[in-house]
Amino acid sequence: MAETTEAKSKTKSAPATDDVFAARLARHHDEFESLFRMLYGDSPELAVFERAMADAYAARPADLKKLDIEREKDPEWYKRGDMFGMTMYTDLFAGDLKKLAGKIDYLKEQKLTYLHLMPLLKMPHPDNDGGYAIEDFDTVDPLLGSNEDLAALTKKLRKAGISLCLDFVMNHTASSHRWAKAAEAGDPEYQDYYFCYDDRTIPDQYDAVVPQVFPNTAPGNFSWNEKMGKWVMTQFYPFQWDLNYRNPKVFTAMMTSVMHLANLGVEVFRLDAVPYIWKQFGTNCRNLPQVHTIVRMMRMMLEIVCPAVVLKGEVVMAPKELAAYFGTPERPECHMLYNVSIMVNLWAALASGDVRLLKRQADKLNALPDNCWFVNYLRCHDDIGWGLDEDEEVRLAIDPLKHKEFLYHFYEGTVPGSWAMGELYNYDEASKDARSCGTAASLCGVEKALITHDKPAYEKAIDRDLLLHRAMAFLRGFPMLNCGDEIGQLNGWDYKEDPDRVADSRNLHRSKFDWKKAAERNTPGTLQNRLWEGMESLREMRDDPCFGPDAWVTTWDTHDDAILGVLRKEGERTIVGLFNFTNADTYAVLDSTADVTLPERVDLKPYEAKIIVAHE
């Protein structure tokens, strides 16, 4: 391997390692080498990678090594019932990393244990897809601060009991990344970091079988680069070049960046678009076996170098594809996944007043092995993509296309009787596909009720908002709020006045945090106070032993398609959550079993959530 490799160590020989590192390496070495050889044959890059791991371990700060040892003794720390998360953009919340560090008291006030910051590594401006086009995987964007600022922030967060999560954008780099610039200048070594072709022969064959990610806003899977005189694979946007993980130098360089960020104090990595990372000619380039090989190797790398760190996969795929991303108990991959399917089904149930699809989805996820864990949420930086279980819809005599059209038009606010205010994202005339944008409060009806001065509608909107959050927080996994939802922040329509943001309707729910509104969280009766106290009730609810990592969780028949019933059992204690998804008084009829004795009837008000203690 040439000394010019991207992942080369500062020294040619591996540093001396202690017994802890040696033992971890020995535990995984044979499997790691076998998987590496499976992908890359006899490439000498394996030795380069092993040296990079030794370098990263040697450079790891002492306090993080101490955390590693603590978490090796408590490997399921992220499954505890007190886990409570939030996701946010650094600049929208505070301005930069230094200022965010000064806002930690606000996070502690909410008893957060997990903070997910949207991409903050060096990016081009303005075209960066919300930070998901990265120029340098090792360096914080200067507009947000420095690596030193990031390390200082993570240290303060750890002291406050908060683990920092960052996105790791595995699938692509910005077109302005130094590798892409070298490829563009004609360097064949760096052209092999991507997928570059002289003519349309191979791209056309890819396009014949590979679905488009953004058929309306970024059609096709390839872009022509005039400077290079080649077609380059760009599955997302033209300024995001797909990486070629068939090249072992790419794997080594990217994993070295992961270890570097872990040494700055990042404790959780959200693997962005991980199903897409391996491209195989003649396939749809989704969920291929090699993807799992790479994630498994990544998991072993972390367990060798920095076992305090966990992986969270972003897998926006059908439910049947999810279990594979956890691996097996013997050969684990991701520690947890975003619970995209439950998020979508919660919003669908609210619009339709029908929980059958939601219940069926929860049943499928609850049936997964114990090593499968989820981060539950209602809103995040992204849109709501209406990927419901079409086979189940057909079984329930629901037309999948008509249902999808109803949902995105409902949350756009154009369906008669809709309370929501939102916008469509990526509407495709040919397929009639579209996604939805908006904050939780605006989609639940708060914004419309305030505009129309409709007090009863306003009360119902708050009830809907709290119902969804309570149902989300009761399900298997741990809850994560979208920053601003704890104070009922509304849509940011001013994005339409910004030429750099107007083309992306997701900016509707990516607006600056309103600190003036947040100041009203302690004023009784305000929207901010009512939602703030509602989120506090979620944390109080989850203090129950039935939210422990070993609790049994299952749905329970309520004999009413408008009411979701979920039972949690830990030891002798059993609790049941009942959630009425309609604007009507109703009641649940609960069946008891030999092991679980429940009240026969429980009355529920419109949009009410009720928690019942069945056994002490």
**Which residues carry out catalysis?**
272, 314
Cβ pair 48, 1 in contact under 8 A: yes
What is the C-alpha separation between 125 and 525, in angstroms, rounded? 42
What is the DSSP annotation of 68-108? HHHHHHSTTGGGSTT--EEEE-HHHHTSSHHHHHTTHHHHH
What is the C-alpha separation between 354 and 377, in angstroms, rounded? 20
Q: For residue 86, which of 183, 21, 163, 178 has the smallest C-alpha distance?
A: 163
- ∠ CA 529-109-158, rounded to 5°: 155
What is the DSSP annotation of 524-569? TTSHHHHHHHHHHHHHHHTTSGGGSTT-EEEE---S-TTEEEEEEE
For 108-120, b where at least 16 C-beta lie within 10 A, e where not — what string? Answer: eebebbbbbbbbb
Helix/strand number for the chain, H first, E second: 21, 24
Looking up tokens 């890819």 gives: 206
What is the C-alpha separation between 546 and 474, in angstroms, rounded? 10
Q: Which two tokens stand for residue 431?
A: 């397929």
What is the C-alpha separation between 469 and 378, in angstroms, rounded? 7
What is the C-alpha separation between 473 and 486, in angstroms, rounded? 14
What is the C-alpha separation between 298 and 348, in angstroms, rounded? 35
Q: Which two tokens stand for residue 537?
A: 């009730």
